[in-house]
């Protein structure tokens, strides 16, 4: 895949010229974490938004358009949440570079929307000092106005505007209240009518945090700011959710609930999609003449589309849950509860939810590591996530366990494989955190936001956003691999007929790799299966079915189990299970790791490490079982 092949950055980073030939205005949204930045961005742009990564960094940004009458448009870029503009963390560096015009491929913004939490203005106003000192036209947005009023807080926003020398808008982004002033400001930038006033207060030295904090208090008191009462419900809920006994119980219930719903909820939809794909494939088959094109279309492209779309329900369910947990504020509590356990393997509380998600699928899990600010912890979490037993491994496990393991021991074998993946993850995390990704353990600092009701709007937009990323990144890879594997299995054509599987290029590759995999107890047929499973692990089941001449058999097929028993020794079967437990047999995971780490380095390291790990343990499993049998 090319670096920017069809990636949104290519089409969205440079605001194109408008109909009148003038460059369209660009406005940046800046604010601390938990200030409602994304909610505001969603309110302003709706579905007219795209996600992109800045070149060379892992930080993601979103771009959107706001339209006004007369073909006028403003581009809005949502920057990562930051407390300051000191370029220390990657997030802060990106925000700093964009605002000062130092970001490649992105013009310096024409104006800034600075969004702050009005219920905690004393602390949030600190960010106003460095942002206002940039000298760009800035609208200061005081968000959560509804919470401020309900808690008995007050602010004279006109006075604050005088003190800061910038217009101030009091809004509730979640409820959509007070946004006209924001739209007016944006429309003003399209006319170039950004008024600048001289602030009454002089800006502090922005490197001195205590001075900035004192300046913020001063500005607040001049604007008669009165903070609201502490959020009572948050304290009541924390008394339960962080209770010594009830806390862990609620935590466990949430974890089990998330799991149950993902598997139970997504399964029927998955089966339905599977049915739809195969029956529509069957229908297409009757409509088209029997030739190579039909086979490519149905067995390559259409099947590929099917295996991509099949993952979507699980991914949507996972992101729905992560969205609810994050927007409600519980995610921070879950991270707090999980922190001590995760610290034992050198990670931190925020790694827990991504690793849990990896039991469904590593792709959304890796996308969910965004919430981990520490880059080292984030990379470590990404690197161990694919060891968790994802749902694509289950059909493979089911087939081999049913074929080789006595009925009384099947459940134990399955649990053993789950445990093996988990232990491999822990061992790898320990190894990473004591070597290449070593960092001080004390770097865990986590703000507990007040509990809030998640809004349907922001959850829905998040789901749209995540499915787009999945379909673009993972989907295209799975589809491409599915087509390549079809081609390998169907060339060379002779006398207008595809070759028998034993004569295909795929079989030649299988024979070529046989010497390498023979120590594991695998023959060339398993080799073909391993290659085809790079598209997605469960593909090996269908491939083996084809090889043994049982088109369309699934993991419950008795004939396929019997054929495997004839062809594979017990040692080889054990090795195959272990190989699938540890190897990174998944192109979409590789593609997503590349996207999230901003380069090929980590996915290459990860693929090599996991394959070597899998090979060594599969070899040992083969030897051990063969010796015992």
Q: Which of these segments, 55-63, 338-346, 469-477, 499-507, binds other proteins (CB under 8 A)?
A: 338-346
Of 12, 13, 104, whose CA–CA distance to 57 is shortest?
A: 104
**According to the binding rule CB under 8 A, does residue 226 interact with other proteins?**
no
| Smallest separation, CB 83 to other proteins (Å) | 4
Who contacts 503 (Cβ-Cβ below 8 Å, separation ≥6)? 492
Q: By the 8 A CB rule, do 626 and 570 touch? A: yes
- C-alpha 115/C-alpha 275 separation (Å) is 48
CB nearer other proteins, residue 195 or residue 245: 245
443 binds other proteins, rule: CB under 8 A: yes
Query: For the window 85-114, what string marks contact with other proteins as x by the rule CB under 8 A?
Result: -x-x--------------------------
The answer for residues whose C-beta is within 8 angstroms of residue 618's C-beta and 6 or more apart is: 520, 575, 576, 578, 579, 582
Between 99 and 182, CB nearer to other proteins: 99
Q: CA 368 to CA 269: how far, in whole Å?
A: 23
Residue 497 · residue 22 · CB < 8 Å: no
Burial (CB < 10 A; 0-12, 13-18, 19+), residue 427, is: middle
Alpha carbon dihedral 561, 565, 570, 575, in 10-degree steps, equals -60
Nearer CB in complex with other proteins: 184/243: 243
Q: In this chain, which stretch among 141-149, 240-248, 361-369, 514-522 interacts with other proteins, using CB under 8 A? A: 240-248
* Residues 572, 617, 424: CA angle, nearest 5 degrees: 130
State how far the Cα of 581 lies from the Cα of 602, in Å rounded to an integer: 20
Q: Smaller CB distance to other proteins: residue 89 or 472?
A: 89
Query: Does 69 sit near other proteins (CB under 8 A)?
Result: no
Residue 290 binds other proteins, judged by CB under 8 A: no
When binding is defined by CB under 8 A, the residue of 91, 238, 465, 506 that contacts other proteins is 238
Encoded tokens for 302: 């259409």
Tokens representing residue 521 in the block:
């107890």
Cβ count within 10 A of residue 489: 23
How many other β-carbons are positioned within 10 Å of the β-carbon of residue 199? 15
With the C-alpha atoms ordered 433, 438, 442, 447, is the resulting torsion angle positive or negative?
A: negative
Q: Which is nearer to other proteins, 97 or 238 (CB)?
A: 238
- The answer to whether residues 507 and 501 touch, using CB atoms and an 8 Å cutoff, is yes
Interface region with other proteins, contact rule CB under 8 A, candidates 164-172, 178-186, 234-242, 559-567 = 234-242
- Report if residue 2 touches other proteins, rule: CB under 8 A: no
Contact segment (CB under 8 A) with other proteins among 22-30, 49-57, 98-106, 339-347 equals: 339-347
DSSP H or E stretch at residue 51: strand 49-53
Does residue 375 touch other proteins according to CB under 8 A?
no
- The footprint of other proteins on residues 134-173 (CB under 8 A) is none
According to CB under 8 A, which one of 14, 18, 57, 83 is a site residue for other proteins? Answer: 83
How long, in residues, is the chain? 629
Q: Does 340 bind other proteins (CB under 8 A)?
A: yes
Query: Taking CB under 8 A as the rule, does residue 23 contact other proteins?
Result: no
Q: Among the candidate windows 269-277, 297-305, 333-341, 479-487, which touches other proteins by CB under 8 A?
A: 333-341
Residue 244, interface with other proteins (CB under 8 A)?
A: yes
For 559-608, give the DSSP string: HHHHHHHHHS-HHHHHHHHHHHHHS---HHHHHHHHHHHTSSHHHHHHHH
Task: Please report which helix (H) or strand (E) contains residue 75, including its range.
Answer: strand 72-78
CB of 297 to other proteins, least distance (A): 55
- In the sheet with 25-30, reading across from the earlier edge strand, the strands are 49-53, 60-68, 72-78, 25-30, 111-117, 138-143, 168-170
Binding of residue 476 to other proteins (CB under 8 A) = no
Closer residue to other proteins, CB minimum distance, 86 or 561: 86
Q: Which residues pair with 143 in a beta bridge?
A: 117
Q: Judged by CB under 8 A, does residue 4 bind other proteins?
A: no
Among 75, 330, 444, 615, binds other proteins (CB under 8 A): 444
- Distance of CA 357 to CAs 351, 389, 533, Å? 10, 10, 21
Task: Name the residue nearer to other proteins (CB basis): 246 or 616.
Answer: 246
**Should residue 239 be labelled a site residue for other proteins when binding is judged by CB under 8 A?**
yes
Contact mark string toward other proteins, 245..284, x via CB under 8 A: --xx------------------------------------
For 470, counting Cβ atoms within 10 Å of its Cβ (0-12 exposed, 13-18 middle, 19+ buried), the class is buried
Q: Which span sits near other proteins by CB under 8 A: 116-124, 389-397, 500-508, 607-615?
A: 116-124
Least distance CB 163 / other proteins (angstroms):
20
Determine how β-strand 111-117 pairs with β-strand 138-143: parallel
Q: How far is the CB of 237 from other proteins (least distance, A)?
A: 11
Nearer to other proteins, 197 or 243 (CB): 243
Token pair 């219920």: residue: 119
Residue 251 C-beta: closest distance to other proteins, Å? 9
Which CB atom, from 304 or from 449, has the smaller least distance to other proteins? 449
Residues 516-555, one symbol each (x = binds other proteins by CB under 8 A, - = not), give: ----------------------------------------
For the window 343-362, what string marks contact with other proteins as x by the rule CB under 8 A?
Answer: x-----x-------------
Nearer to other proteins among residue 352 and residue 582 (C-beta)? 352
Quick one: 20 or 442, whose CB is closer to other proteins? 442
**C-alpha dist (Å) from residue 290 to 97, 245, 282, 400, 495:** 58, 66, 12, 34, 14
Residue 27: other Cβ atoms inside 10 A: 24
CB of 373 to other proteins, least distance (A): 10
* Stretch of residues binding other proteins (CB under 8 A), selected from 65-73, 355-363, 435-443, 559-567: 435-443
- Alpha-carbon distance 31 to 34, whole Å? 8
Q: Using the rule CB under 8 A, give the single segment among 161-169, 193-201, 208-216, 510-518 that binds other proteins.
A: 208-216
Report how far residue 587's alpha carbon sits from residue 591's, in angstroms, rounded to the nearest whole number. 6
Q: Is 626 in the site for other proteins (CB under 8 A)?
A: no
Taking the CA atoms of the chain, what radius of gyration do you get in angstroms?
Answer: 28
- List residues near other proteins by CB under 8 A: 83-84, 86, 88, 119-120, 122-123, 126, 209-210, 213, 227, 238-239, 242-244, 247-248, 332, 336-337, 339-340, 343, 349, 441-448
């Amino acid at each position: 895949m090319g670096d920017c092949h069809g990636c949104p950055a290519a089409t969205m980073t440079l605001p194109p010229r408008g109909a009148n030939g003038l460059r369209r205005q660009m406005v940046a949204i800046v604010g601390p974490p938990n200030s409602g930045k994304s909610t505001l961005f969603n309110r302003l742009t709706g579905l007219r938004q795209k996600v992109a990564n800045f070149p060379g960094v892992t930080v993601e940004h979103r771009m959107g358009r706001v339209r006004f009458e007369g073909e006028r448009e403003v581009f809005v870029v949502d920057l990562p949440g930051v407390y300051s503009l000191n370029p220390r963390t990657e997030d802060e560096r990106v925000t700093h570079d964009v605002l000062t015009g130092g970001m490649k491929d992105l013009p310096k913004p024409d104006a800034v929307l600075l969004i702050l939490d009005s219920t905690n203005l004393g602390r949030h106003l600190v960010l106003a000092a460095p942002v206002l000192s940039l000298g760009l036209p800035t609208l200061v947005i005081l968000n959560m106005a509804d919470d401020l009023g309900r808690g008995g807080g007050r602010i004279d926003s006109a006075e604050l505007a005088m003190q800061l020398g910038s217009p101030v808008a009091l809004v509730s982004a979640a409820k959509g209240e007070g946004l006209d002033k924001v739209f007016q400001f944006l429309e003003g930038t399209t006319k170039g009518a950004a008024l600048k006033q001289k602030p009454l207060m002089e800006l502090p030295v922005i490197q001195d945090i205590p001075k900035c904090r004192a300046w913020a208090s001063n500005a607040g008191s001049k604007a008669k700011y009165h903070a609201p009462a502490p959020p009572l419900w948050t304290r009541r809920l924390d008394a339960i959710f962080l209770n010594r006994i009830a806390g862990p119980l609620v935590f466990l219930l949430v974890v089990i609930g998330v799991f149950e719903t993902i598997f139970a909820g997504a399964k029927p939809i998955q089966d339905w999609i599977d049915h739809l794909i195969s029956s529509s494939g069957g229908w297409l088959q009757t409509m088209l003449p029997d030739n190579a094109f039909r086979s490519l279309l149905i067995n390559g492209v259409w099947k590929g589309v099917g295996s991509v779309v099949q993952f979507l329900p699980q991914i949507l369910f996972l992101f729905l849950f992560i969205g609810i947990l994050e927007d409600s504020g519980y995610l921070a509590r879950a991270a707090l509860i999980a922190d001590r356990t995760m610290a034992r393997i050198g990670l931190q509380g925020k790694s827990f939810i991504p690793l849990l998600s990896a039991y469904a699928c590593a792709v959304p899990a890796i996308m969910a590591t965004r919430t981990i600010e520490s880059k080292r912890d984030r990379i470590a979490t990404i690197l161990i996530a694919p060891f968790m037993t994802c749902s694509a491994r289950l059909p493979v496990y089911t087939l081999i366990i049913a074929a080789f393991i006595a009925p009384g021991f099947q459940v134990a074998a399955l649990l053993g494989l789950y445990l093996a993946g988990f232990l491999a993850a822990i061992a790898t995390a320990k190894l990473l955190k004591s070597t290449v990704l070593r960092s001080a353990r004390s770097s865990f600092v986590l703000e507990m936001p007040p509990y809030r009701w998640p809004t349907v709007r922001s959850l829905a937009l998040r789901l749209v956003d995540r499915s787009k990323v999945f379909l673009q990144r993972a989907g295209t890879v799975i589809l491409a691999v599915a087509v390549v594997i079809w081609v390998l299995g169907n060339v060379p054509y002779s006398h207008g007929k595809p070759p028998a599987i034993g004569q295909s290029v795929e079989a030649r590759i299988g024979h070529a790799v046989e010497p390498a995999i023979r120590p594991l107890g695998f023959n060339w047929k398993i080799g073909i299966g391993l290659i085809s499973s790079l598209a997605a692990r469960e593909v090996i089941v269908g491939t083996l079915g084809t090889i043994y001449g049982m088109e369309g058999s699934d993991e419950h097929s008795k004939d396929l189990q019997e054929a495997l028993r004839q062809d594979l020794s017990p040692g080889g079967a054990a090795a195959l299970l272990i190989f699938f437990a540890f190897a990174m047999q998944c192109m979409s995971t590789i593609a997503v790791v590349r996207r999230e780490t901003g380069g090929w380095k980590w996915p290459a390291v990860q693929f090599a490490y996991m394959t070597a790990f899998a090979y060594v343990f599969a070899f040992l499993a083969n030897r051990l079982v063969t010796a015992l049998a």
